[in-house]
Amino acid sequence: MSKLIDEIRFTQELIKKPSVTPKDLGAMNIVVKHLKKLGFKCKLMSFQEKGTDKIINLYAKYGSQSPNLCFAGHTDVVPAGDITSWSINPFSAKIKKGYLYGRGVSDMKGGIGCFIAAVSQFLKEHKKFKGSISFLITGDEEGIAVNGTKKVVEYLKKKKEKIDFCIVGEPSNRRKLGQMMKIGRRGSITTHLTVIGKQGHIAYPLEALNPATPIIKILDELKSKPLDKGNKNFQPSNLEITKISIDNSADNVIPSKANATFNIRYNTLHTFNSLKKYISKIVKKYEKKYK
């Protein structure tokens, strides 16, 4: 029980670091400190592609034999949003009625805490075992994800480091722990849509082109048509509109530009290229109509 309490305290310490992508703010060092106590050899590595933020990643390993079981996860979290909408400070990691609250508890600082608790108990009970245990932790999962896991895997391949099995601690169990295990993850494509119109006074709409009209129609068609019905292993693909913005300070002026962002989480019935063609076809249809 005392060990469990230690792991809860570790998770609380991790949650208290507001590591909203791409910021780390010391979150990765907390993981390193804890893994080193268990005897892991830790290697921190940073990657930064041109035009992106530098990201800190960790690969830690215990043992050198195969097979290598890897726990994969991330310390970065999404923004907390309106702080006043929270019942507690999202980065205070408070425990209320037996539950730990805070940004990242589920996705997935709590998952990392569970990883470490399980490994700690395993090493306590198995002083010698055939194989090795590793951790691949990134700070670039919730963002554009170009300087994280992908770069670490490329580095490991160059070093001829093999990972035989991988456990990802993403929050898939919605009702209770152990509810399900997934054989893979859905793909994700984020699209930034900009419609250029022609600015003008609202009293003279024939002299202008309001970009709000086509962008609303494009988004409506994309959202209203189901992408598929899912298959044996994956739920139906889903599109969610995340941003709609028009930078216009006047109420009597037709704007010159409208922007929107949407994300598609897709199953094995689609590919990045097939969805790109699908989106382009709809956009081009309205481009011709409102040209």
Return all residues near 139 (Cβ < 8 A) that are at least 6 apart: 19, 21, 22, 24, 27, 28, 55, 56, 57, 74, 75, 76, 148
Q: Which long-range contacts (CB under 8 A, 24 or more apart) does 39-46 make?
A: 39/123, 40/133, 40/135, 45/151, 45/152, 45/155, 46/147
Query: Is residue 6 among the annotated active site residues?
Result: no
Query: Is residue 154 among the annotated active site residues?
Result: no
Q: What count of other Cβ atoms lies within 10 Å of the Cβ of residue 171?
A: 11
Say which residue the tokens 């040209």 belong to.
291
Taking the C-alpha atoms of residue 89 and residue 180, their distance in angstroms, rounded to an integer, is: 31
Taking the C-alpha atoms of residue 45 and residue 152, their distance in angstroms, rounded to an integer, is: 8
DSSP classification of residue 88: S
Q: What count of other Cβ atoms lies within 10 Å of the Cβ of residue 248?
A: 14
Q: Of 7, 13, 24, 141, which residue is the catalytic one?
A: 141
Q: Of 7, 76, 107, 140, which residue is the catalytic one?
A: 76
Q: What count of other Cβ atoms lies within 10 Å of the Cβ of residue 59?
A: 23
Classify 23 as helix, strand or coil. Answer: coil
Asked if residue 59 lies in contact with residue 156, where contact means CB atoms within 8 angstroms, the answer is yes
Give catalytic residues, as residue numbers.
76, 141
